[in-house]
Amino acid sequence: MAANEALLIIDYTNDFVHDKGALTCGGPGQVLEPEIISLADATEADGGWVILPTDVHMPNDPYHPESKLFPPHNVRGTWGREFYGDLKPWFEAHQDDGRVYMYDKTRYSAFAGTDLDLRLRERHVDTLHLVGVCTDICVLHTAVDAYNLNYKIIVHKDAVAALTPAGQDWALDHFEHVLGAQVV
């Protein structure tokens, strides 16, 4: 990836991926780990940006709309919010690199209520590579916002997973046929 490209590793945490996670996609999410790490290594080596937008919540927040839909998950300071598997030590080893950073997000989209668009435009990024979970929730909503902001979108199908096979298939089709994303 070039300097005008960013890899967004979306919500790859224990709560969304580990078997004991609060809102896990389980096995389909776990098998993504080598591909996500490989893409992160390649992106950084090529001078691209590795960005980790990561869901965060307060326990039992009565004002957050997800509180009515899902069990508590990705609560700040908990094991569930830590990066899953080898992504945790990868991030710890690279977090001080100038082209790698993690930030909190509180909605499905990595753009909602964050300065992501501003940061990307400051860095002249025009192409987003999307990986992580869940394909049909946070990856999808990030892709919709990226489309509306006129970014080129590339979704790595071997590096995204949903809670259900139907959700996975629907989202991959939607990326390609409705958002004009390249699915590779």
Domain with residue 31: its CATH number is 3.40.50.850
Instruction: State percent of the chain over pLDDT 90.
Output: 86
User: 34 lies in a domain?
Assistant: yes
Alpha carbons 173 and 120: distance in angstroms, whole number? 26
User: 76 lies in a domain?
Assistant: no
Confidence at residue 44, expressed as pLDDT on a 0 to 100 scale: 92
pTM, rounded to two decimals: 0.95
Alpha carbons 65 and 8: distance in angstroms, whole number? 24
Q: Is the pLDDT of residue 171 over 90?
A: yes
User: 31 lies in a domain?
Assistant: yes
Q: Is 143 helix (H, G, I), strand (E, B) or coil?
A: helix
Q: State the average pLDDT over residues 39-53.
A: 96
155 in Cβ contact with 181 (< 8 Å): yes
pLDDT in tens, 25-43: 999 999 999 999 999 999 9
Q: Which two tokens stand for residue 109?
A: 């989209």
Confidence at residue 11, expressed as pLDDT on a 0 to 100 scale: 97
Q: Is the pLDDT of residue 71 over 80?
A: no
Q: State the average pLDDT over residues 63-90.
A: 87
pLDDT in tens, 103-133: 999 999 999 999 999 999 999 999 999 999 9
Supply the range of the domain harboring residue 21: 5-54+83-183
User: 92 lies in a domain?
Assistant: yes
Q: State the average pLDDT over residues 122-145.
A: 97
User: 65 lies in a domain?
Assistant: no
- Max distance between CA atoms of the chain, in angstroms, equals 43
User: 11 lies in a domain?
Assistant: yes
User: 15 lies in a domain?
Assistant: yes
- Number of domains the chain is built from: 1
Q: State the average pLDDT over residues 77-104.
A: 96
User: 73 lies in a domain?
Assistant: no
Q: State the average pLDDT over residues 73-99.
A: 94
